Amino acid sequence: MSLSRISVTGVRNLHPVTLAPSPRINILFGDNGSGKTSLLEAIHLLGLARSFRSVRLNPVISHEQPACTVFGQVELPDEHSRALGISRDRSGEVRIRIDGQSVRSAAELADTLPLQLINPDSFRLLEGAPRLRRQFLDWGVFHVEHRFLGAWQRLQQALRQRNSWLRHGTLDGASEAAWSRELALASDEIDGYRRAYIQALKPAFERTLEALLEVDGLQLSYYRGWDKERSLSEVLAASLERDRALGHTQSGPQRADLRLRVGSHNAAEVLSRGQQKLVVCALRIAQGHLVSEAKRGQCIYLVDDLPSELDEQHRLALCRLLEQLDCQVFITCVDSTVLQEGWCEQTPVSMFHVEHGHISPVHGPSGVKA
C-alpha cells in the first residue's frame, strides 16, 4: 500500500500543502528547523492518531491555528483506495474519518496504514524499558494475528480486576480465582501468538541484519513474562502474598520482553550508536516483511534523518534494503547529495525540498528523477 496523496494543514510550521508522493522512495531535504520531521509527524498522526514527538497533541498544532488536519489517499494492494482523515482541535477533540465515515477507534487507522518509524530516538528500543519492546512486538502480532486484539483486551480487563482486588481486597475468594483463571487463559493465548510471531521474526531479522552489519553472536530471544517451567496459574498462586504486598500482579504477559544480547551482554551496553541504529533498522525491516506477507500490503516506512550515525557503506546498505522492501518510504535528511546516488534506475525516487515550512517537489537535473 502507499499514500498517493497527502494534505496537511495546521501541523507545526508547515504551510498547508498537498503532495503526490512516489509509491516508492521519497526524500525530504532541507535545513534544520525547516519542517521535514513535521511532515513525518503528520503521516504518523494519520496512521496512529498520535505523534512520536510529544505525548500531547496540542504542541503539534501550528501556533495561531485552531486545529491540525491530515488527509491521505491510501492505495491498497487490491487496487482499491481508501480516504483517511484525522483532525484534532485545541480542545482535544479528535475526528477520524475513513471513506467519509466517522470512526471512533484509532486501531482502524493503524489497520489501514501500518507505519514503521525509524528515527534518532530508535535506539531506545534497545536500551529503553521493556514496555517499548513489548509495543514493538505487539504491533507486529496485531497486524499478523487478528485474534490478538481481543485476547489483549481480555487480559487488560482481568489484570485491572485482579490488581484492584490486590490493592483493596474488594473481591471474594471465588471471584479472585475466576479473574486469575481468566488472566491465565488470556495470557496463554497472548503468549502463543507472540511466540509464533517471534519464530517467524527471528530468521527474518537475522537475514536482514546480515545484509546490514557484521556482529558476532547477536541473539534475539523472547521472555514471556513468567517462569518457563510453570503455568501462570501456578505462578500466580505462589506469588499471591507478594502480589498483595506490592498491590499488583508481578508475573504475566504484561512483563514480557524481547532480549537482544551479544554473547553474555545486553546489546545496548556493547554496541556503538551506529550499530544500534542498524540493529533497530533490521528489526523494523524484518517486521515490515512479516506484516506485508500476512496482509499482502506493505508498511510505509518513515525514516527520519537516515544518514545520521551511519558511514557511507552502512548508509548505502540501509538504502538498498529499504529499496528491496518494495514499499513506500519517506526519508528525511539535511544534505540531499548523500542520498542522490545508489538507487536502481527503475526505482521511482521523488525529492522534496523543505524550506521554512514550504514543501516543493524538486524536478530537474538533481541526478534523481522527480
Ligand X SMILES: Nc1ncnc2c1ncn2[C@@H]1O[C@H](COP(=O)(O)OP(=O)(O)OP(=O)(O)O)[C@@H](O)[C@H]1O
Give residues in contact with Mg ion (CB under 5 A).
37
Nearer to ligand X, 36 or 133 (CB): 36
Select the residue interacting with ligand X from 2, 9, 38, 328 (CB under 6 A). Answer: 38
Q: Which does 329 bind (CB under 5 to 8 A by kind): Mg ion, ligand X, none?
A: none
200 grid coordinates: 517467524
Q: Which of 2, 22, 37, 187 lies at the binding interface for ligand X (CB under 6 A)?
A: 37
What is the closest distance, in whole angstroms, from the C-beta atom of residue 170 to ligand X in the complex? Answer: 44
Minimum distance, C-beta of residue 213 to Mg ion, in the bound complex (Å) = 24
Dig out the grid coordinates for 301 from the structure: 516506512
Tell me if 33 contacts ligand X by CB under 6 A: yes
Q: Considering the complex, what minimum distance in angstroms separates the CB of residue 302 from ligand X?
A: 12
Is the CB of residue 175 less than 8 Å from the CB of residue 165? Answer: yes
Residue with cell 524481547: 258
Q: Residue 220 or 306: which CB sits closer to ligand X?
A: 306
Residue 252's binding partner out of Mg ion, ligand X, none, with CB under 5 to 8 Å set by partner kind: none
Burial pattern 111-127, b for ≥16 Cβ within 10 A else e, equals bbbbbbbbbeebbebbe
Segment 278 to 297, residues that bind ligand X, using CB under 6 A: none
Nearer to Mg ion, 143 or 277 (CB): 277
User: How far is Cα 40 from Cα 30, in angstroms, rounded to an integer?
Assistant: 14
Query: Rounded distance, CA 204 to CA 56, Å?
Result: 35
Provide the mask over 144-163, with x wherever binding to ligand X is found by CB under 6 A and - wherever it is not: --------------------
In the complex with Mg ion, the residue whose CB is nearer, 147 or 356, is 356
Min. distance of Cβ 77 from ligand X in angstroms? 31
> Three-class SS string for the chain?
CEEEEEEEECECCCCCEEECCCCCEEEEECCCCCCHHHHHHHHHHHHHCCCCCCCCCHHHECCCCCEEEEEEEEECCCCCEEEEEEEEECCCCEEEEECCEEECCHHHHHHHCCEEEECCCCCHHHHCCHHHHHHHHHHHHHHHCCCHHHHHHHHHHHHHHHHHHHHHCCCCHHHHHHHHHHHHHHHHHHHHHHHHHHHHHHHHHHHHHHHHCCCCCEEEEEECCCCCCCCHHHHHHHCHHHHHHHCCCCCCHHHCEEEEEECCEEHHHHCCHHHHHHHHHHHHHHHHHHHHHHHCCCCEEEECCCCCCCCHHHHHHHHHHHHHCCCCEEEEECCHHHHCCCCCCCCCEEEEEEECCEEEECCCCCCCCC
- Binding site partner of 125, from Mg ion, ligand X, none, Cβ cut-off 5-8 A by kind: none
Nearer to Mg ion (CB atom), residue 37 or residue 336: 37
Identify which of residues 37 and 180 has a Cβ nearer to Mg ion in the complex.
37
34 binds ligand X (CB under 6 A): yes
The distance of closest approach from Cβ of residue 55 to ligand X in the complex, given in angstroms and rounded to an integer, is 15
59 contact choice in ligand X, Mg ion, none (CB below 5 to 8 Å, kind-dependent): ligand X
* 10 sits near ligand X (criterion: CB under 6 A): no
**Subset of residues 58 to 117 that bind ligand X, contact rule: CB under 6 A:** 59, 61-63
Shorter beta-carbon distance to ligand X: residue 31 or 269: 31
Tell me if 30 contacts ligand X by CB under 6 A. yes
264 binds, among ligand X, Mg ion, none (CB under 5 to 8 A by kind): none
Q: Considering beta carbons, is residue 37 or 187 the nearer one to ligand X?
A: 37
Sign of the torsion formed by the C-alpha atoms of 150, 152, 157 and 161? positive
In whole angstroms, the minimum distance from the beta carbon of 12 to ligand X comes to: 4
Closer residue to ligand X in complex, CB, 28/232: 28
Residues 298-337 interacting with ligand X (rule: CB under 6 A):
334
User: Where does this chain bind ligand X (CB under 6 A)?
Assistant: 12-13, 30, 32-38, 59, 61-63, 334, 354
